A and B are shown apart, each in its own frame.
Chain A
Amino acid sequence: MVFVKAQKSKAYFKRFQVKYKRRREGKTDYRARIRLINQDKNKYNTPKYRFVVRFTNQDIIAQIVSASIAGDIVMAAAYARELPRYGLEVGLTNYAAAYCTGLLLARRVLKMLEMDDEYEGNVEATGEDYSVEPAESRRPFRALLDVGLIRTTTGNRVFGALKGALDGGLDVPHSDKRFAGFSKDSKQLDVEVHRKYIYGGHVAAYMTTLMEDEPEKYQSHFSEYIKKGLEPEGLEEMYKKVHAAIRADPTVKKSEKQPPKEHKRYHLKKLTYEERKARLIERLNALNAAGAGDGDEDEDDE
């Protein structure tokens, strides 16, 4: 038995300072969060909205969030899982889907605030940099992009979602440096390339290459596309239809859920404060009644 010197003593644990819970989970970057949430004090209670974009393995989450001491409040949210409702069934986490999700969120928020007629945004998605112009009556809805913990490289899908929101009519301060198609050498956004990505052109190109070179890999990789009968040439048309469908009806559809099943209680249900007080009064009354009956002589000697 090898003698191993104990590494973490009781003193170590006594002095150990845990990081914040969400930092331990690796989910929140507090340094960035402080700077995103901090509102100018001379703006008092005016909320500062964040445009939060997060990617999971099979979904894209886009939300408009404002912070409060009790907890963050989500004003509106859009998920890539809602896109089948608008006609997009496959490829729910690619750049084009991110664009659709951002667009859906923007139209949803504007519709909620009844600003959707004033701020149409960019209806025809070209790839070029578009910023909302303030209309006469109300100023555009401003939110700040919150990327979370991802590495902000050029062509990242977060910026696809950002482009969707911008074209939807939100005012998000940005630069075109990180859109897909920005070339570091010429320091310019190649609009054609960006447009290709928005309409899934990069996916279509890969599909055609695989079809020619490696048909088996094509079958396995794009099996869902083949099942739905999607050809590389038809992708752009499909995305155009999805954009139009999103603009037509961005409202949230509530899914019907059955009320949760009643399960048998294996332990006693916890009583509420009032129930416990009532029970105590009952027991005292019972005791007093019993006591009055038994020991009338002892009452005065108490």
Chain B
Amino acid sequence: MPAGHGLRSRTRDLFARPFRKKGPTPLSIYLRTYKIGDYVDVKVNGSIHKGMPHKFYHGRTGRVWNVTKRAIGVEVNKQVGNRIIRKRIHVRVEHVQPSRCHEEILQRIKRND
């Protein structure tokens, strides 16, 4: 019978935890704070099953537009056909890292002030 196209199809390696990093996640992930307008990278943590984004968003970077109790709303660009749509997803904090794409600009601002 055919393979199927479920939500987590073809993610066997993508969502796997890295070598020797399986098991409990480090606590600093839960202690980080995110504000609206921050840039974040979406990187799925396969051991946390709740609040996982779809595999398309793995590796994408977007801005925070919403902060809830355990999750962050991220606005990510997605090309659909001949246009790019700004898609808003909600992701749990375990699947999100602060992005360094904006770091250089922030440092420059600090230096110039």
- Set of chain B residues within 8 Å of A19, measured between Cβ atoms: 23
Binding site for B on A (CB under 8 A): 15-17, 19-20, 23, 30-31, 33-34, 37-42, 44-45, 67-69
**A41 & B24 in contact (Cβ 8 Å cutoff):** no
Q: Which 10 A-B pairs have the closest CB atoms?
A: A17-B20, A40-B69, A30-B24, A38-B30, A42-B67, A69-B28, A41-B67, A44-B33, A69-B31, A45-B33
Given A17-B23, A19-B23, A30-B24, residue A41 in contact with residue B69 (CB < 8 A): yes
Given A67-B31, A69-B32, residue A40 in contact with residue B24 (CB < 8 A): no
The distance in angstroms between the C-alpha atoms of A45 and B72, with both chains bound, is 15
B36 vs chain A, min Cβ distance (A):
10
- Set of chain B residues within 8 Å of A38, measured between Cβ atoms: 30, 70
The distance in angstroms between the C-alpha atoms of A42 and B24, with both chains bound, is 24
- Set of chain A residues within 8 Å of B89, measured between Cβ atoms: none
Task: Tell me how many residue pairs across A and B have CB atoms closer than 8 Å.
Answer: 48
**B24 & A31 in contact (Cβ 8 Å cutoff):** yes
| Interface of A, helix, strand, loop or mixed by DSSP | loop
B30 vs chain A, min Cβ distance (A):
5
The distance in angstroms between the C-alpha atoms of A253 and B22, with both chains bound, is 46
- Set of chain B residues within 8 Å of A30, measured between Cβ atoms: 24, 27
Question: With contacts A17-B22, A20-B24, A68-B31 known, what are 8 further pairs, Cβ within 8 A?
Answer: A19-B23, A23-B24, A30-B27, A33-B27, A40-B69, A42-B69, A44-B67, A67-B27
**B31 & A41 in contact (Cβ 8 Å cutoff):** no
